[in-house]
């Protein structure tokens, strides 16, 4: 990706987390899916008790939306953000500094497949908001967003499995229409889905995305949580009031 020449200074969580990101049309911007993934991993969506990890890895971090959410929600003591694009990685580093978390967030400028920079079994928690479009499928994204929007799911899950080792939780967000693919790809790597929650825009809409938590282990034990409806008055405040700009 070319150098980002225009950025906006936005916030998450009602102004409590600062977020510099590419201006509209100049690169991939954080959306609510990143915040939902962070909240799901943190146990902040009202279905399980809060979760805490000492060491978390955010694979394909972009400007850091998911990792910043983890730190803000108290879900991780330390987060390593892995991002291949140097311009986005630079913004992620600036966001860590701007929020006073430079000692809790490390930025690794690397492809997630680079095993020399992403060590095996290093994490207690792995979060991944992979590209939603497999290469050769769907409409081609604008050049400024192509790398973030289009890519191989398999590569990200391979990296997640390696970093997770035998003990870490792995949390992924992916389009609901592709949930079968996601679950099969996870199981093929020995990552067994243990918790799943579908997210709907409105009560009568089809599911938009799914949030899945998995871990290395024996098959079975999947809990299907109640659907999360983003426009419902009963939705957690993180959904109703804290959408990224």
- Range list of H helices, the chain: 32-42, 65-72, 86-98, 146-149, 153-164, 179-188, 237-240
Lowest mean pLDDT among 10-14, 59-63, 82-86, 149-153: 149-153
Q: What is the per-residue pLDDT for 145?
A: 46
Coil, helix or strand at residue 158: helix
Q: Who has greater pLDDT, 88 or 138?
A: 88
- Residue 116, CB half-sphere, CA atoms under 13 Å: how many? 2
Q: What is the per-residue pLDDT for 160?
A: 95
Lowest mean pLDDT among 57-71, 91-105, 139-153: 139-153
pLDDT in tens, 136-178: 555 544 554 444 444 589 999 999 999 998 889 999 999 999 9
Q: What is the pTM of this model?
A: 0.90
Cα–Cα distance for residue pair 14/17, rounded to 1 Å:
8
Cα–Cα distance for residue pair 158/19, rounded to 1 Å:
29
Q: Is the pLDDT of residue 241 over 90?
A: no
Question: In the chain, what are the domains?
Answer: 31-135+143-234 (3.40.50.150)
Q: Who has greater pLDDT, 28 or 205?
A: 205
């Amino acid at each position: 990706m070319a150098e980002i020449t225009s950025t906006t200074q936005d916030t998450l969580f009602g102004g409590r987390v600062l977020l510099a990101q590419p201006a509209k049309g100049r690169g991939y911007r954080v959306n609510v899916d990143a915040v939902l993934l962070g909240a799901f991993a943190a146990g902040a969506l009202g279905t399980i008790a809060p979760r805490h990890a000492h060491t978390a890895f955010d694979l394909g971090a972009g400007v850091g939306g998911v990792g910043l959410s983890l730190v803000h929600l108290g879900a991780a003591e330390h987060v390593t953000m892995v991002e291949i694009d140097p311009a986005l990685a630079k913004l992620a580093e600036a966001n860590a500094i701007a929020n006073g978390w430079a000692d809790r967030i490390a930025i690794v400028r690397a492809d997630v497949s680079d095993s020399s920079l992403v060590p095996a079994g290093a994490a207690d928690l792995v979060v991944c908001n992979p590209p939603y479009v497999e290469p050769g499928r769907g409409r081609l994204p604008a050049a400024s967003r192509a790398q973030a929007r289009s890519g191989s799911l398999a590569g990200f899950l391979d990296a997640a499995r390696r970093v997770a080792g035998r003990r870490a939780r792995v949390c992924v967000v992916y389009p609901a229409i592709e949930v079968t693919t996601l679950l099969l790809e996870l199981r093929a790597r020995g990552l067994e889905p243990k918790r799943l929650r579908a997210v709907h825009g409105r009560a009568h809409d089809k599911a938009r995305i799914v949030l899945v938590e998995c871990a290395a282990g024996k098959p079975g034990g999947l809990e299907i949580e109640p659907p999360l409806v983003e426009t419902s008055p009963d939705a957690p405040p993180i959904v109703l009031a804290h959408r990224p700009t």
